Chains A and B, each alone.
Chain A
Amino acid sequence: MKKILYSGLLFIAFFALKTVTAQTKKPLAKPSATTNINASIQRGKAVYATLCVACHQVDGGGVPNLNPPLIKTSYVLGDKKRLINILLNGMQGVDIDGETYSNVMPPVSQFSNQQIADVLTYVRNSFGNKASAVTLTEVNSLRPKK
């Protein structure tokens, strides 16, 4: 319990500092890979709020026994192709880290390739996750012309 509390506090402290740092640097920053990722994360956050949040929850923690968490699982942090394909084709009946999840993940192929890249970049960089961005090119390679 204590451990969770401390990590929670560290998390908050980190963000408090991060806000300060971000504010300081803002006027000097030029468009770069970092700002591109940040823009993608912001757009992805909005996409997440439209549909994903219902099952995966505001904290990305999912629902025990029903909907998988998105926090530091191999599916989220691992092979990007596999991850993109889950959004394009859906997923059902797969155990994750020894736990079963009853609900189906529907395909979200109504999202544009850019929205898929953005929401995955958001998920891979939220809820304690830190991983590379998913780019539009990577989604395009699995689903041309959308």
Chain B
Amino acid sequence: MKNNHTRLKIATLSLALLCSITKAQTNKKAEQFKLPQGFNISVAADDVGRARHMAITTDGAIYVKLARPVDGKGIILLEDKDGDGKFNQSSGFGNYGGTGLYIKDNYLYASSNSEVFRYKLDKDQRVVDPSKPEKIVTGLIDRRQHETKSITLDNNGNLYVNIGAYSNSCQEADRRAGSPGRPDCPILDSAGGIWRFKIDQLNQSYNNGSRFATGLRNVVGLDWNQQDNSLYVMQHGRDQLDMFSQFFNSKQSAELPAECMYKLKEGDNAGWPYMYYDPFKKKKMLAPEYGGDGTKEANNKFIDPVVAFPAHLAPNGLLFYTGSQFPERYKNGAFVAFHGSWNRAPQPQEGYFVAFVPFANGKPSGEWEIFANGFAGVSVVNSPREAVHRPCGLALGKDGSLYVSDDTKGTIFRITYNKNSK
């Protein structure tokens, strides 16, 4: 009986302790974000919906693509008319959910999970007729898994669209323990790569677009690098290597493979589903679905990554910084928005931050680093739903500010630099 009293006391004390810890964390909320010295983060807009990618007009208004329409509007326009840094929704249109959004040469390009549209813009870069977009791409595969279609444009009238593989690793039975890979993975003929289309032709599909690069499981963040005039993409690496538990334990499965940044030339093959990239060995490894065992290397015909990030962080946004507000070392470097992992359980989840990679002459000139952290709002994310915000899209403001979207709470963050601020 005495024993029970002690236990009760301990339980009560633990409760009291827990309460005080929780209270302390609540008070800390305002300073939860960590950025390099001189940078500030503020909320530009809140609760806008499941905000995916963004596109910013020449006068600083923000178009946001929503994963799911709110009141029938899948694209919203945010404006800061009084210049106080707080944006309000001034209009919305496009009754489809999706991810991709891009502005170039007075057109706004937007994607659903199977089509790409473009809207003519007026001299202020506002959509002329929201109800009459041109449908330029149609009929792309959408089988729920990796269904989003991210987009970017080059300077020669081409549109690049990610078509994600509707599979984890092209197994005979998707995500089933021990199931072998399908020979000559048939998914790759219509997905698992980047397709290229013309920006000004209507109703293009597989028959009149071309597969620009293949062997990419799923890409959400991508950008055209203006400095070396090339396409860069961030791949979401494969999950669950421990489905082959004879070769991989749960820790290895949590830490492999790398999330890779690739620079793509026409015809490149990044190797999915036949290989994965091991960031510790710095090698391309044969996937267990295709005879790999964690030690066998893959065919060397597959391209190497430009940068290898830790596993499963889910890169959803990529932006090469061409603004002039940030210090010189950020110029032309890559910002990557990581949505945060789910495939590291039972270990804590990682990511939920914006990273930076310095670039010089079209190549990384240093190691990647965490640039802005604290979006999750909790110190440890044990389960993804604990994260308050999950970074998704990145966009460059006309004044050189960096905007970060969040598709969980629907917050648009603005990151600015002032060398005199602490």
Contacts and interface: CB of A to CB of B under 8 A. Distances in A.
Contacts of A20: 4, 7-8, 11
A102 B236 CA distance: 15
Contacts of A67: 342
Contacts of B250: 54
B19 A9 contact: yes
A58 B177 CA distance: 19
B394 to A, nearest CB: 20
A20 B178 CA distance: 43
Nearest to B240: A54
Interface in B330-347: 342-343, 345-346
Contacts of A102: 144-147
Contacts of A66: 342
Contacts of B343: 54
Contacts of A61: 383-385
B174 A104 contact: yes
30 contacts: A12-B15, A12-B18, A16-B8, A16-B15, A17-B8, A24-B4, A49-B346, A54-B253, A57-B345, A57-B383, A58-B346, A58-B383, A59-B385, A61-B385, A63-B342, A63-B385, A64-B384, A66-B342, A90-B173, A90-B176, A92-B144, A93-B144, A102-B144, A102-B147, A103-B175, A104-B145, A106-B173, A106-B175, A106-B176, A107-B173
Contacts of A9: 15, 18-19
B159 to A, nearest CB: 24
B346 A13 contact: no
Interface string B1-21: 001100110011011001100
Interface string A65-101: 1110100000000000000000000101100000011
A23 interface: yes
A49 B382 CA distance: 14
Q: Which of B4, B19, B343, B383 gathers most chain A CB within 10 Å?
A: B383
A57 B8 contact: no
A99 to B, nearest CB: 10
Q: Which of A53, A66, A92, A110 gathers most chain B CB within 10 Å?
A: A66
B173 A16 contact: no
Interface in B276-323: none
A19 interface: yes
Contacts of A44: none
B125 interface: no
Interface string A91-132: 011000000111110111010000000000000000000000
B90 interface: no
A122 to B, nearest CB: 15
Contacts of A55: 342
A51 interface: yes
A23 B7 contact: yes
B22 interface: yes
B408 interface: yes
A106 B179 CA distance: 10
Interface string B164-186: 00000000011111110000000
Nearest to B174: A104
A5 B22 contact: yes
A53 B383 CA distance: 10
Nearest to B7: A20
A65 B346 CA distance: 20
Contact of A107 (B3, B18, B176, B253): B176
Interface residues of B, number: 37
Contacts of A108: 177
B19 A100 contact: no
Contacts of B67: 65
Q: Which of B22, B145, B173 gathers most chain A CB within 10 Å?
A: B145
Interface in A13-61: 13, 16-17, 19-20, 23-24, 49, 51, 53-55, 57-59, 61
B50 to A, nearest CB: 9
5 closest Cβ pairs, A-B complex = A16-B11, A106-B176, A63-B342, A57-B383, A106-B175
Contacts of B7: 16, 19-20, 23
Given A58-B382, A62-B385, A67-B342, 10 more contacts: A12-B14, A13-B11, A20-B7, A55-B342, A59-B383, A64-B408, A102-B144, A104-B175, A107-B173, A107-B176
Contacts of B177: 51, 106, 108, 110
B283 to A, nearest CB: 25
A16 B11 CA distance: 6
A100 B142 CA distance: 13
Contacts of B22: 5
A17 B345 contact: no
A134 B253 CA distance: 31
A67 B346 CA distance: 15
A104 B408 CA distance: 22
Nearest to B342: A63
B32 to A, nearest CB: 14
A127 to B, nearest CB: 10
Interface in B386-417: 408
B345 A53 contact: yes
B175 A57 contact: no
Contacts of A58: 345-346, 382-383
